[in-house]
Structure 1
Amino acid sequence: MSAPKIMLVAAEASGDALGAGLAEALRRRVGDELKLVGVGGPKMAALGIQSPFDIAELSILGWIDGIKAYGRVKQRVAETVELAKAEKPDAVVLIDSWGFTIRVAKAIREALPDVALIKYVGPQVWASRPKRAKVLANAVDHLLALYPMDAPWFEREGLETTVVGSSALHVDMSGADGDAFRRAHGIAPAAPLLLVLPGSRPSEIERMTGVYEQTIRRLKIRFENLQVAVVAAGTVASDVTGRVAAWPFRAHIVSEAEKYAAMKAANVALATSGTVSTEIAMSGTPMVIAYKIDNLSYALMKRLVTAKYITMFNIAGDEEIAREFIQHDATPENLAEAVTDLMADPAKAQRQADRQTEVLELMGRGSPNPSELAADAVLRVLDARKAS
């Protein structure tokens, strides 16, 4: 029997990482004869999955940005479907990025009704817009969910669901050396170090870097020897580097390769909300969270979102372990004050870091590797298809 052909579709940096992990796990099971095609970023490309277009342009936040990009998204959906029609895969795994991948799912279902469609990361229907569970159930054959609380929402709609866990809970920090990071960047062991993580989407970089610059200006007055490091995520690295170079003070640029070492080296992290908050918690560093989208999208979101928090470990712990500053509250004054609280009180910072770690256990830290579980589930779906 010939090896299966599997198409992976990722539209953002986080999805690219998930896709790469899944691809490697699938190859371990099937062997080099496994055929992988799809849409993704540099991590998937390094494994031989060449994307027909640059996914950076699909990193979209908010309704307004979505409307502006509608024509481009529609074109990229069509190109993705054409790739599926040309390759005729046995299964298509659609990774995160709800707005893009649900359109791709519906179009592939119409064009290739017999292909197995698998969604990897479902919409957070427990936080907002629960009707999306039914929409997804009608569009795909199987869901690979990140958290146990996801499953009941989709299974009620008849969608078979496998809980695989979050890859952020399985980050290998064993090789991350904070002391070595400080030495490499000429940062004294006792110097206060703030790590800034502005995001991985172009719109996040555009909205947040100016806020962070003004925040750091205030912090440098309070902490004379404050050192600053800024993570430049792969898909937005040149944009981040260019913006930070224009700051009137020095900031160390951190590549993806040294990101975890920087997390361990930092006294406090200031981060744009996202998966990275879980990774920072894994490193044992306390943090402050910020987030901004366009005002109209935010006004609409406030009507739809029911969750009290946006950071996953805050949601899991049902408390604001790490302080969150959203939209109009994400001001340089507020952020500087929150960072100062942690930077000036090491005992308080340690208590927060300890609480973050405790809640990671509730979220599934230490459970089996998500990429391995996801690969097993994909192959089970394919086996069931062949059997029927």
Structure 2
Amino acid sequence: MPDPLGANVPPKIFLIATEESGDRLGSSLMKALRQRLGDSVRFEGVGGQTMTREGLTSLFPIEELSIMGFAAVVKKLPMILRRIRETADAVIAATPDMLVIIDSPDFTHRVARRVRARSPALPIVDYVSPTVWAWRPGRAKAMRSYVDHVLALLPFEPDEYLRLGGPPCTYVGHPLIEQVGLLRPDAQERRRRDASPPTLLVLPGSRRSEIRHHMSVFGETFRILQQGVPEIDVILPTMPHLVDEITTAVAGWSLRPQIVVGENDKRAAFRVARAALAKSGTVTLELALAGVPMIAAYRAGAVEAWIAQRVIRVSSVILANLVIGENVIPEFLQKDCVPATLAAGLREVLDDTPLRRRQIEAFARLDAIMATDNQPPSSRAADVALAVLGR
């Protein structure tokens, strides 16, 4: 950027990402910004391993903030608040040309508010919208005071920001759309998807609390399902740090799943699966893009469930339903997340039923719904961010 003396000073961009998913988004954005601004662009901030590989030196290891559970957060609260103050101080000291906060709103938005109070002219871009459309909608209007533009991953979010009176918001695309080719079957995999015995995916979640709440229910579900569908190949994709816990949990199941680890094996399983039992979350959108009919289930602790029932304001908690704009995926939550009900739902999506056909037709519309004009989401995000910087 030009300085007061007329020299052409390379722009400096401060990025903050405190979770693995945000780290991946930040890394892709850094690459796209470098393509547009040249190698002289400077990056500072907070990020993980992929952003580090792009040249960022993180203020602190983001693993410090990988905290689950209310009690754990309370215990770590002094450290969290200290890191918020330190990060805001670092932004001010760096005098960047732009601040990009990436997801993790409980952390990044607190930093952004502090920075805006001390540096009102600094452009601030929020990459990944908080779920203002699902709960605490008042956050959207409050964001106008400290966010200049929101980069949305979901196509319906810009309209929600207009409705709620939030800052300008642009749909840039979900990173999953770049994975579509890896999720969809070739001719041989499609034959396996349609063959017998059917392959069924089970996706209990990636948090230990989710595994604790779901695994016994899912195991009993398969015992009941086997009474009507004796032969099923079950695949359970998981992550390396959860393998021991998952292995222990399935030891008592009557139907032992094949446990696969890593993204490549997970995508291979998606390409041959006839149906899925999935916990609600982003994975439902991933399955929908892969064309895999499913039912979704979720059990939470009593306190978490009580809070959710009182604050969630959407017709479905299933992300794929929200993107499609139609509740095509049955959701079995809390008291409805019981084995007999889940087994009946799975039979419907395994067999050639109206529900299965309706889902497949709806999933086929996702390419058009989530289209980004053949431009990668990171490129669109970089273009919008640089437009904000230019203003």
Q: Same fold (TM over 0.5)?
A: yes
- The answer (yes or no) to whether the contact 1:12–1:59 under 8 Å persists in 2 is no
Identity across matched positions, percent: 33
**Residue 116 of structure 1: aligned partner:** 123
* Residues 141, 351 of structure 1: alpha-carbon distance in 2 compared, 3 angstrom cutoff: closer
Structure 1, unmatched stretches of 5+, are none
| CA deviation after TM superposition for structure 1 residue 2, in Å | 3.0
2:236 and 2:132 map into 1 onto residues whose CA distance is 32
Letter in 1 for 2:16: V
Please say if 1:339 is aligned against 2:343: no
Please say if 1:304 is aligned against 2:311: yes
**Residue 90 of structure 1: aligned partner:** 97
Secondary structure at 1:135's aligned position in 2? helix
Give the paired residue count: 377
- The answer (yes or no) to whether the contact 1:15–1:95 under 8 Å persists in 2 is yes
1:181 and 1:379 map into 2 onto residues whose CA distance is 42
| CA deviation after TM superposition for structure 1 residue 16, in Å | 2.7
2:366 and 2:194 map into 1 onto residues whose CA distance is 32
| CA deviation after TM superposition for structure 1 residue 13, in Å | 3.4
Letter in 2 for 1:168: L
* Residues 79, 304 of structure 1: alpha-carbon distance in 2 compared, 3 angstrom cutoff: same
- The answer (yes or no) to whether the contact 1:116–1:382 under 8 Å persists in 2 is yes
Secondary structure at 1:310's aligned position in 2? coil
Letter in 1 for 2:328: I
1:288 and 1:357 map into 2 onto residues whose CA distance is 17
Structure with the greater relative contact order (CA < 8 A, sep ≥ 6): 1 or 2?
1
Letter in 1 for 2:289: M
Please say if 1:382 is aligned against 2:389: yes
1:211 and 1:17 map into 2 onto residues whose CA distance is 33
Please say if 1:198 is aligned against 2:204: yes
Please say if 1:230 is aligned against 2:236: yes
- Please report the TM-score for the alignment, with normalisation by the length of structure 2: 0.82
* Residues 378, 268 of structure 1: alpha-carbon distance in 2 compared, 3 angstrom cutoff: same
**Residue 271 of structure 1: aligned partner:** 278
Letter in 2 for 1:230: L
Match of 1:285 among 292, 313, 332: 292
* Residues 162, 258 of structure 1: alpha-carbon distance in 2 compared, 3 angstrom cutoff: same
* Residues 94, 268 of structure 1: alpha-carbon distance in 2 compared, 3 angstrom cutoff: same
- Out of 138-147 and 48-57, give the one that drifted further: 48-57
1:187 and 1:87 map into 2 onto residues whose CA distance is 53
| CA deviation after TM superposition for structure 1 residue 104, in Å | 1.9
Letter in 2 for 1:238: P
Match of 2:171 among 163, 178, 181: 163
Structure 2, unmatched stretches of 5+, are 1-7
Match of 1:107 among 100, 114, 121: 114
Match of 2:213 among 207, 212, 217: 207
* Residues 113, 323 of structure 1: alpha-carbon distance in 2 compared, 3 angstrom cutoff: same
Secondary structure at 1:271's aligned position in 2? strand
**Residue 241 of structure 2: aligned partner:** 239
Letter in 1 for 2:304: S
| CA deviation after TM superposition for structure 1 residue 111, in Å | 5.1
* Residues 198, 175 of structure 1: alpha-carbon distance in 2 compared, 3 angstrom cutoff: closer
| CA deviation after TM superposition for structure 1 residue 341, in Å | 2.1
- The answer (yes or no) to whether the contact 1:168–1:275 under 8 Å persists in 2 is no
* Residues 190, 37 of structure 1: alpha-carbon distance in 2 compared, 3 angstrom cutoff: farther
2:168 and 2:194 map into 1 onto residues whose CA distance is 53
- The answer (yes or no) to whether the contact 2:183–2:270 under 8 Å persists in 1 is no
RMSD: 3.4
1:168 and 1:187 map into 2 onto residues whose CA distance is 21
Secondary structure at 2:181's aligned position in 1? coil
Q: How does 1:314-329 map to 2 (within 5 A)?
A: 314-329=321-336
- Please report the TM-score for the alignment, with normalisation by the length of structure 1: 0.82
Letter in 2 for 1:229: I
Please say if 1:128 is aligned against 2:135: yes
